[in-house]
Structure 1
Amino acid sequence: MRDSTQRFFDATPESVALARDFTTNALAAWGLTRAADDVRLCVSELASNALVHGTVPGYGFLVRLVVDDDFVRLEVHDSRDHRPQLRHPADTDTCGRGLMIVEELSDGWGVEGREPSGKVVWSRFKAASADRGASC
């Protein structure tokens, strides 16, 4: 089985919460409640990064979710080519931990180019088969 859904969000701070809600609702509709907390936190981080670093003025970002029998793939598409880098901030730094969170919670992440411009930052999560109809 393979399902997908996507939604475009304006480049406003409120869109991060809307992206979390969109993700939570999609995962619930697919019966993937066990994966929801990690995916929800990662969409929050990636949407925040897109909002702050990835959107050209006047453009928003797209969140796409794809689920198959093994994985949920979260994608955040934005309009800038700048590729995010995993940072290792000092304990006293007040920012720079978003991709560390994504790396820790996901089963892989990366960045791909997007045509005609921009990028896709993705992460993937093992789909808990027990969520999808198992009896125990």
Structure 2
Amino acid sequence: MTSVVSRVTAAPSSQALAHFRTLLQFETDCWDVHFAISNNRQDFVLVDVRSELLFGQSHIEQAINIPHKKLTEDNLKAYPTDTLFVVYCAGPHCNGTEKGAIKLAELGRPVKKMIGGITGWIDEGLPLVAANPP
């Protein structure tokens, strides 16, 4: 009896290896971002692509806020063209990260998505800050 998991045959190992190696060129995770920041190895700009309102409620301390609709060459002119941007939004239920990554890629900027977003960050037990505390 075949399960729904194995009903579609797994890719050959060589294809799986190529796929997963390539996937890491497009995304990183919350723990790796936190580890880099905590160990003074932040060689990227962490961008919260949510609205200013949501950013003000809580965000990752080292992040800057550029909502995905405002990702323009003019708003990025302070950064060298080879700057790596790591974008995040609310979490897996939100596509703001993809919208932001598309805009950055269209501008010719290196970009990775932080999978999990704020939800993943919280799930890892990592702290958020409020820019506009009550």
TM range (shorter): under 0.3
User: Which one has the bigger strand percentage?
Assistant: 1
User: Which one has the bigger helix percentage?
Assistant: 2
* TM-score, with structure 1 as normaliser: 0.26
Of structures 1 and 2, the larger Rg is shown by: 2
* TM-score, with structure 2 as normaliser: 0.26
